[in-house]
Chains A and B, each alone.
Chain A
Amino acid sequence: MAEKRLSKADSFYKVYERTPSAIKDVTHYCPGCGHGVLSKLIAEAIDDFGIRERTIFMSPVGCSVFGYYYFRTGNIQCAHGRAPAAATGIKRAYPESIVISYQGDGDLAAIGGNEIIQAANRGENITVFFVNNAIYGMTGGQLAPTTLIGQKTTTSPFGRNPANEGYPIRVSEMIATLEAPVYVERVMLGDAKNTNKVRRAVRKGLSNQIDNKGFSLIEVLSVCPSGWKMTPVQAKQWMNDFMLKQFPLGVYRDRSEEIPVRESQRHVFSVDGIRDKLELPKSGEQTMQVEKPAAEFMNPRLKLAGFGGQGILMLGLMLAEAGMRAGYHVSWIPSYGPEMRGGTANCHVNLSERRIGSPVVSKPTVLVALNQPSLDKFESEVAPGGLIIYDTALVPNPPKRKDVKVLGLPATTIADELGNTRIANMVVLGAYVGYSRILPKEVVFSALPALIKRKNLLPLNELAVEKGMEFVTRMGS
């Protein structure tokens, strides 16, 4: 139990230099308000735990906005309702710090409702002091989520009407339904006995954080004589008569004893093994020298299209990966988003000897169409003299253009014969590189492991590429 003391807590600034007021030794709180008492109990606890130097105090918006005038700690002033989020950020950066989020009812239960629920639910190792005075104090006495039924405020001038404004929110009860929070208690600032309970709750909430046990929320009922338009004595009576009925005091969740004391894991900046961890290529991996293809197949602009699931995007990536390994400038751009879930898929690939301009292929020199709709849609776009590759097993109506080269092959049938219909895309890849001679087999094979995660499938994919190449060789002979 802390000793009774007469001097100001060491965890308050001796002089409140940051206040614009000419008077630098009193707080901005109104006479009779509970904030000053709660602040004092917190500051004394910080003193007694010896944690001042590593404490960071969050001041959001409300009467708590000027917490940084008083607390001789690290201070972050933050946006309305966002203290639990900002507290999460700084606590994650400094797990060894003690982060205090000090919030009022408008801030915590209205605009910051989601932030407090989610921070509690993540079990952030922070301590939240929630001052519930059933009103917006700082802005001059407006309706809060905690305003009582019938209570008159400047924005409920006829009294809170449930039909219009709903009912007062019981925050402690709500937070206590979550798994993660360690300790949730509602206390009140009033007589000496209750204030003692507040003192104990403050210390328990901080102690839990010091021991890295997790999230604690202490809801503190407090009077607001200014907002309620009462004298401090009337206000105290009103709190006893009405607020306590709506907001019963008590411990709503307490797992403090169950959870073991833990060491905080300091964040340590390190770059050890970072290139491996980021899966960056080894510097030894060299570009492979390749022979140039015939001029008509140089610098291809490809559009590849089919049904989602046919491996169209993978086919494009293989080409880009192999092209890069052959020293070409390459780009790959997919149709993305909902389109790739089910419907059609297409991608654009460029392989070029010089810096690539538009990655979007509007006039392809090569169209790969693995289904009829793709051929029908894109056939007219192909540049004169270009190449159309299509799967004869799936495209019953062949291309009609006479000014382009056409390569039809039963890719899906060949893939089925290999025992896996999903590698038809690799058969097409083999056919394209075999036909155009843009890339040798070795380069294509070297690219496969970069994209095929299941290494046991590599031989099958290689075989599929070879079958595609064989098809065009047979066709040509």
Chain B
Amino acid sequence: MAKQLIKGNEAIVKGAILAGCRFFFGYPITPASEVAEAAAYYMPQVGGTFIQAESEVASINMVYGAAAGNVRVMTASSSPGISLKLEGLSYCAGAELPLVLVDIMRAGPGLGNIAPEQSDYNQIVKGGGHGNYKVIALGPNCAQEMCDLTMLAFDLADKYRNPVVILADGFIGQMEEPVEFPEAYASFPDKPWALHANADDEHRLITSIQLEPEMLEQHNIHLQEKYRIISENEVRYEDYMVDDAELVLIGYGVVSRILQTVVDDLRAEGKKVGMLRPVSLWPFPSAHIAELGDRVKNFLVVELSNGQMVDDVRLALMGKTPVHFYNRMGGMVPSPEEIYAQVKTIWEA
């Protein structure tokens, strides 16, 4: 199939529609606005609905309402807007509603700026909202994955009745690359638990409230069991030249693209360097990292944050292998040369 040069943010919307999504409730924010703009343009043309909500809070609650039905629904925002949506995300997780939330991360804290950062890792992967919940978090690193992982996100959301977050950064959202769009799903599986606006609805209740502690504990145990199953089945990652690597670089999103260049440059010099790219940030590829830790001498984690994912790498390794860390913040993105210099330091130590 022919490719289309397209912005990552737009590829998300086309992928979503191909995956059967027909409802989008958004709110503008740079650098995620093109997602809402594309949805506003395409949704009405495919018999879908786009509403620009009055706030991020209203937007996620519109999603909550629509996700209670037998439809596929999504929203998108960027870091400060995601903070506002987290209350709603907790409700969605509690009520076990499937939806796709896109986060095109920008720099913080506060209003910060519109340049890329990866400082939403904790608020997405570690919860962010209240309660013992998890969301599946997928980290695309190219426009093709903005489409593909969005389509996958809808399937996972329905399969597990759980919110799925596309955790991308400003560069992955704004970048244009060729995308090959797969065939549209002819349909998606019926959701028997969902409201259908018919006679069976009297038995259906969408709720996150469980007044009795015994019942809420049972609900939490059920959720944790679901999360365990997801952890066992939905880990995704990409290995790049790790087979014989003595040093493995770890990064996701745009960082992984920069790391690939660094690996290429170092391999050209004969250095045994590879890269591991977590694609699913939750569930995190902890077991794989632990296994690599048995044969790799050093890890270097690179993030556009103060060091959030690196905690998960350290947890996975439990101290058995040195973990080095390099970061930039505030919207600064490291050059391959910068990281190359870091690797040299580790290599020569």
Contacts and interface: CB of A to CB of B under 8 A. Distances in A.
Contacts of B175: 331-333, 359
A396 interface: no
Nearest to B170: A336
A471 interface: no
Nearest to A52: B202
A88 B65 contact: yes
Given A74-B195, A269-B47, A278-B46, A360 B171 contact: yes
B57 interface: yes
Contact of B54 (A72, A115, A329, A363): A115
Given A56-B195, A115-B61, A320-B176, A278 B181 contact: yes
Nearest to B69: A93
A93 B206 CA distance: 15
Nearest to A275: B184
B212 interface: yes
Interface stretch (A210-218, A282-290, A422-430): A282-290
Given A357-B258, A358-B260, A114 B58 contact: yes
Interface in A238-287: 267-271, 274-275, 277-278, 280-286
B55 interface: yes
A118 interface: yes
A321 B20 CA distance: 28
B207 A76 contact: yes
A73 to B, nearest CB: 6
Contact of A89 (B57, B61, B171, B335): B61
A160 B20 CA distance: 52
B64 A78 contact: yes
A207 to B, nearest CB: 18
Nearest to A362: B335
A115 B45 CA distance: 27
A90 B73 CA distance: 11
Q: Is the interface of B mostly helix, strand, loop or mixed?
A: mixed
Contact of A324 (B5, B62, B95, B254): B5
A52 B196 CA distance: 13
| Size bracket, chain B contacts | 35 or more
Interface stretch (A79-87, A366-374, A402-410): A79-87
Contacts of A297: none
A18 interface: yes
A355 B171 contact: no
Interface in A48-65: 52-54, 56, 58, 65
Interface in B27-49: 30-31, 42, 45-47, 49
Nearest to A111: B57
B154 interface: no
B209 A65 contact: yes
B257 A78 contact: no
A200 interface: no
A78 B97 CA distance: 12
A159 interface: no
Interface string A386-400: 000000000000000
A82 B115 CA distance: 31
A307 interface: no
Interface in B295-349: 333, 335-337
Contacts of B209: 65, 77
Ranked nearest first, the 3 interchain pairs of A and B with the lowest CB-CB distance are A89-B65, A357-B261, A74-B201
5 contacts: A20-B212, A76-B195, A88-B65, A274-B46, A280-B4
Interface of B: 1-5, 14, 17-18, 20, 22-23, 25, 30-31, 42, 45-47, 49, 51, 53-55, 57-59, 61-71, 73, 87-88, 91, 95, 114-115, 170-171, 174-178, 181, 184-187, 195-199, 201-202, 204-209, 211-212, 215, 254, 257-264, 333, 335-337
